[in-house]
Structure 1
Amino acid sequence: MSLKHREKDLRHASAAAHFSHACALQQAGYFPEAVKSYRLGLAFQPDSPEVLSNLGCLLDDLGSRDEAESVHRRAVALAPNVAVMHNNLGLTLQSLGKTEEAEACFRKAIELRADWPVARLNLGRLLQMNERHADSIEHYEHVLEIDPSNARAKNNLGIALEHLGDLAGATAAFQAAIAADAGLVAAHRRLAEVQQRQVPLWHISMLNDHARNEAYQGALRTAIDSDSRVLEIGTGAGLLSMFAARMGPKSLTTCEAEPLVAQMASKVIENNGLASRISLIPKRSTELQLGTDLPEPANVLVFELFSSELLGERVLASIEDAKLRLLQPGCRIIPASASLMIALFGGERLASNLSVETVEGLDLSAFNQVITRRQMLARDDLEIELLGDETEAFRFDFEQQKEWVPQCTQIRIPVTVEGRCYGIVQWLRLRVDRITTFENHPRAQTATSHWRPALYLMPEPVNIRPGQTAVVRAMHDRVSPWFTVERFD
């Protein structure tokens, strides 16, 4: 006979029998029937805190939280010294948004049973959900003292540390959670997210960018001799500092702000037998102290602090500080300068990945109003058409200039090709040294470039032809550039 059809046989059974049957129904997923069986059990024994607590939990799960609260309060009144009763009431109160009362229940459960990890885990989660991440940490740590293999506590500890900005600690906590329970998907997901925050995936394509590496290596070979005191800002994986070390400088200091990246770079440098020739400082360059971190002012500076739109990694502030405090006058700087290049662009296949117009006779163009006006040219298989002259919008001369201010200017770009214009494409051009130039030109196809051209879209595409001139507003605030096509004359 099935579980659902045993009720007649239990009509005159004991409270314990109804309780046992209700538990079996609940475990089998027959929730309404389980509620009915719990109630029948309570008809025989209305003062059973265990039955009341189980019923309250089931009602909470089914969404009947007001009744669940009432049932749990009866259970607590009958068994005020039993930690689980307070814990279960706390969970229902939390579901009802009664945060302060829920917290009091969890704390009472902990007071009654200090060695029970469940209540501490629930209190930690409640604090965390209310942005009290620092307060939650002590409870997760206490859970792990009681139960060192508790994967949920390790995962939640990682979340708290991540919110507090301790990405290295969060990484270790998520890794420990996975080691304790490889099936905990939340820990895998969180670990992937926090690792990407510390080490964005563009590092790999950057390290494998042969053209970039050749340009930097050639410039370093020309600049460095046995009297060179080299400073690198932004160690990354250590590639550029190892290139420089091969040239035999007098000294070589490199700094890296991200702790995990610095740790891995140190290992890479050691694995390549160059640890004795490279001083790696795990600090921002703005925190370096001359005479301690850096023995004397550098006469060669090398860096690669460029985002795809050049300024996103606050390169200007870093170079200004270095020139003020850390560099010898006349210092060789690699790259010597960087330019933001722009052009008008079109391309039907490319445009179909940037915006929408008509689909199967239906006008969807209004949807473009919520699409970002700056996108990256992420696919090399979609040919881009340059419809106007390639134009230098801004140049940043790192060797000659000491500081930079925000700029806003108007640029006129002659149209050279007839077509449908969608906006402005922007890319980087680096003068690595006096003879070497490197750029991520939008028409160049490469498998490993980590710099992607940026596309600044107009609200509506425009058909243009030679003889016209685009009037473009170009601006930057030292952290980000922006380009807008104002009109065509």
Structure 2
Amino acid sequence: MPNSRPRSRRSAGGGAGTAGRDRLVAQSLQSAEHCLGDQDFGTAYAHYLLVLSLAPELKEDVKETFQYTLFKWAEELHALNRIQDLLGCYEQALELFPDDEVICNSMGEHLFRMGFRDEAAGYFHKAVKLNPDFNDAKENFYRVANWLVERWHFIMLNDTKRNEIYNAAIQKAVRLGSKTVLDIGAGTGILSMFAKKAGAHSVYACELSKTMYELACDVVAANKMEDGIRLLHMKSLDLEIPKHIPERVSLVVTETVDAGVFGEGIVESLIHAWEHLLLQPQTKGESGSWGKYGKVIPASAVISGMAVECAEIRRHHRVSAKDIAGIHLPTNVRFQSPAYASVDPEETVEPYTTEKMSGIPGGYRPLTECFQIMKVDFNNLQELKSLATRKPHSLSVPAVKEGTLDAIMVWFVLQLDDEHSLSTSPSEETCWEQAVYPVQALEDYWIQPGDQVTMEASCHDCYLRIQGISILHLEHEMEVIKSFTKSKDLLSLGNEAELCSALANLQTSRPEALEQTCVLEPTEIALLNNIPYHEGFRTAMRKVLSSLAPETPSQPMEAHCQDMETNLESAPSTSDPFYVLDVSEGFSLLPILAGTLGQVQPYSSVEKDQHCIALDLISEANHFPKETLEFWLRHIEDEAAVLQRPKSDKLWSIIILDVIEPSGLIQQEIMEKAAISRCLLQSGGKIFPQYVLMFGMLVESQTLVEESAVQGTEHTLGLNIAPFINQFQVPIRVCLDLSSLPCIPLSQPVELLRLDLMTPYLNTSNREVKVRVCRSGRLTAVPFWFHLCLDDEVRLDTSGEASHWKQAAVVLDNPIQVQAGEELVLSVEHHKSNISITVKQ
């Protein structure tokens, strides 16, 4: 607890009133100290409020202790779910200390935990402005900025072609008479400003995100269009005439389309717009000015697809291995990614992932020609209404190449009008990614020319759904047709789609129902496919447990190591087991691996019931005695305090910590967790990994530059947007794959930091590193990755080919021109999960 006793001050005033005030202040300070000693933080907080209201001159003296009291009391209020009281306390504190960055940051942390991300961002941003060197606030702001202003905003605004085509289509519509415009999902307001510049009389723009709405207000004002564009912080579905806008508009412009077209709710919003906000559409035979009729930009979309082979998609969505470092995966456990599992009509998870397929590691191979999935007319109300109720339609596409069917890749052409269009095809230079529907749960994924890929497509729950993907092999198809013609004339089937549906329904080789479906995130499936990871842990754990086991003189070490791997059933029941705790984030096989290494009691920290069931089934399949594997969260009262002794009189032999996030960043507070873990280890016990080495290199990458910040006004056609949205740029780009990142290496990899979890005095959380430039160029970024050293011999490389981790990069604010042979100094600092790198020439 900070020192809470302020220096005594003599009041400048006099008289009985001042003396009485001083006595009350002194008594309140004394009471506050007693309350703090008794950990009665609520009463102590009330006493400090009284002190500061009576004697504001003591603010600096009690500031540190007041902060401590506030934070402790706020933790109690949060635990008691007294949210209004908690927020009230912070509001009182900020009235007293309006420029205190620590209180601002703490207020933001509570708001973020409660889900108020927009409001949290405001407090984090203010804390950073008050103190640009306040690392906690900077890290918090960077994390929330990635969520509030998603990185695709920068990429899209830097896409000159996209901006030019939208601008041209809007100009044409306004020129032909569409003078009243509504921009749905305005973002930064760029489409609204295109309309105003084109000559629209009235422009209305609605934006749901508070952050983006406020950003758009600043952008519109900076471009001197605030009088001509009315911005509304609301969903278009809540807009009413004349309450929010005075009249029906003649033009709606929107880009509320995701990689799967419908995922941002464009169908629902346009149905509402046509019914309540737009002038009626022009019907055939009618003539007159466009201003008399309603119109939508984009006018329509044509959605296309292709079946592809792609090893990168496969390893993130299908568990390929049957045996992982000696652990057998049973057939009664089926692993699925959320994209596949969400075909359940009650699920609202996106039924696809998104990938920039032109740059996916290892590339992809087309197995079919491009085929049309669906066409949508956004200017046809009845068609829009029928989309959600229309039954899924069957598609059958012939294979043109042999290979492994891994996914259906989807893109679209957005027809803005009869003249202007945008394609999101992977063959185009575009800011868009493609929607990817992974193929799972087939008995055989091999396909060859003559086979048919069958599927069903629909628009359901605001998503383009492609499900029931299967392969109809040529020889099987002929057998089915022969048997079908015996019972029914094929000509009676109305069309090819019905025949394909009948053929698919008659397939007989269906897998039997499995006992347990285990839904894993793509990174967790990639982890199961990461064989070097599991083999490395097996080797390192075996060495630690061997070193801890009592050694008999007659038993050579080699024989002793082999004996350590005998089945638990044959181990003496009288001796104590080795305790192993795995606190990895998410699903992990490591506790089961530990359980195969001798007399070990492994504990898993998985939380989800389906994951526990799956691990139990895997344990059973590998002949573990019942209840060998324990689930640690069932043994502790406070899930926040995972790191504690296995039993009151026992310590851990091995503690496995998750050090690197799948995104490529260091986990928050990992060094604090390591410090606690070291206190919980038996003599000779180890933390895994024992230490971590961070590597980096200098690169030139225009891609990273354009994904991190809007570049001037040229890309945005002269509109001043960059300074405002770039307030939300973050210096670190995450979820990169260095093997496919468009970049030019300007140096060899160098070691930047060492984080030692077992021997803290070896840490180098702040370091200056000299790097020699090996190629002249424009230095724009420093990508980095890690080697997780389980011991001095076993290393896991987070940039390796089998890695389930992504990599990250620090992107420079201002690129630096460098020459071959030049030596640069990188100043590297690690704080919590934040890595900062500054370059000195």
TM-score (norm 2): 0.43
Aligned counterparts of 2:48 and 2:312: Cα–Cα separation in 1: 66
Partner amino acid for 2:198?
A: M
Of 239, 242, 264, 2:193 maps to: 242
Q: Residue 428 of structure 1 corresponds to which residue in structure 2?
A: 412
**Aligned counterparts, 1:246-257, within 5 A:** 246-257=197-208
Give, in whole Å, the separation in 2 of the partners of 1:272 and 1:86: 56
Match in the other structure for 1:453: 435
Match of 1:216 among 166, 176, 189: 166
Deviation at residue 363 of structure 1 after TM alignment: 9.3
Alignment CA distance shift 1:110-1:296 (3 Å) = closer
Match of 2:364 in 1: 384
Partner Cα separation in structure 2 for residue 110 and residue 245 of structure 1: 54
* Coordinate RMSD, CA, aligned: 3.2
The answer to whether the 8 A contact 1:336-1:397 is kept is yes
Structure 2 vs 1, CA of residues 239 and 347 (structure 1 numbering), >3 Å: closer, same or farther?
same
Worse overlay, 360-369 or 244-253: 360-369
User: SS where residue 273 of structure 1 aligns?
Assistant: coil
Q: 2:279 matched to 1:279?
A: no
Q: For residue 346 of structure 1, what is the amino acid of its counterpart? A: E
| Kept in 2: contact 1:427–1:440 (CA 8 A) | yes
Contact 1:144 1:154 in 2 (8 A): yes
Pair 1:138-2:88 in alignment: yes
1:405 aligns to what SS in structure 2?
helix
Structure 1 residue 296 displacement after superposition = 1.9
Name the aligned partner's letter for residue 356 of structure 2: A
Distance 2:197 2:207 in 1: 20
The answer to whether the 8 A contact 1:414-1:470 is kept is yes
Tell me how far apart the structure 2 counterparts of residues 484 and 363 of structure 1 sit (CA, whole Å). 34
* Structure 1: segments with no counterpart, 5+ residues: 1-22, 24-49, 51-79, 91-104
Matched AA of 2:376: F
Distance 2:418 2:326 in 1: 52
How far off its partner does 1:108 sit? 2.9
- Give the drift of 1:155: 1.6
Q: 1:318 aligns with which of 239, 262, 269?
A: 269
Matched residue SS, 1:160: helix
Give the structure 2 partner of residue 190 of structure 1: 140
For the pair 1:340 / 2:342, whether they are aligned, the reply is no
1:441 aligned partner: 425
Deviation at 1:149, TM superposition (A): 4.5
Cα drift, residue 302 of structure 1: 0.9
Number of aligned residues: 396
CA distance in 2, matches of 1:426, 1:359: 30
Aligned to 2:446: 463
2:41 to 106, 122, 135: 106
Partner of 2:33: 84
> What amino acid is the match of 2:440?
M
SS at match of 2:275: helix
User: Which deviates the most, 368-377 or 265-274?
Assistant: 368-377
Q: CA deviation at 1:184?
A: 3.9
User: 1:365, 1:387 → 2: CA distance?
Assistant: 32
Residue matched to 1:369: 335
Higher helix share: 1
Match of 2:120 in 1: 170
Q: Is 1:408 matched with 2:359? A: no
Counterpart residue type for residue 453 of structure 1: A
Q: Is the 8 A contact 2:357 2:364 kept in 1?
A: no
1:13 maps to none
Other-structure match for 1:47: none
Change (3 A) 1:221 1:146: closer
Structure 2 CA distance for aligned equivalents of residues 457 and 450 of structure 1: 22
Q: Which whole-Å CA distance do the structure 2 matches of 1:269 and 1:189 have between them?
A: 29
Q: 1:391 to 1:147 in 2, by over 3 A?
A: same
Distance 2:233 2:44 in 1: 44
Output the CA distance in 1 between the equivalents of 2:166 and 2:326: 49
In 2, Cα distance between equivalents of 1:400 and 1:435 = 19
Structure 1, 304-313 or 469-478: larger mean CA deviation: 469-478
Does the C-alpha gap of structure 1 residues 148 and 432 become closer, same or farther in structure 2, counting only changes over 3 Å?
Answer: closer
Report percent identity of matched pairs.
22
Question: In 2, are the aligned partners of 1:356 and 1:364 still within 8 Å (CA)?
Answer: no
Change (3 A) 1:209 1:457: farther
C-alpha separation in 2, matches of 1:216 and 1:363:
57
SS in 1 for 2:359: coil
Q: TM-score, normalised by structure 1?
A: 0.72
Q: What is the CA distance between 1:421 and its match in structure 2?
A: 1.1
Checking the alignment, whether the CA contact within 8 Å between 1:420 and 1:462 is kept in structure 2 is: yes
Q: For 1:257-305, what per-residue CA distance to the aligned partner results, in whole angstroms no more than 9, with x for missing partners?
A: 2222122222222333333332323332223232353232111111110
Tell me how far 1:346 sits from its aligned partner. Answer: 1.0
Matched position secondary structure for 1:357: coil
Match of 1:397 among 363, 366, 377: 377
Would you say the 8 A contact 1:256–1:262 is kept in 2?
yes
SS of the equivalent of 1:298 reads coil
Which residue type is aligned with residue 42 of structure 2? R
C-alpha offsets along residues 79-100 of structure 1, whole Å, 9 cap, x if unaligned? x97433433443xxxxxxxxxx
Select the residue among 74, 83, 87 that pairs with 1:124: 74
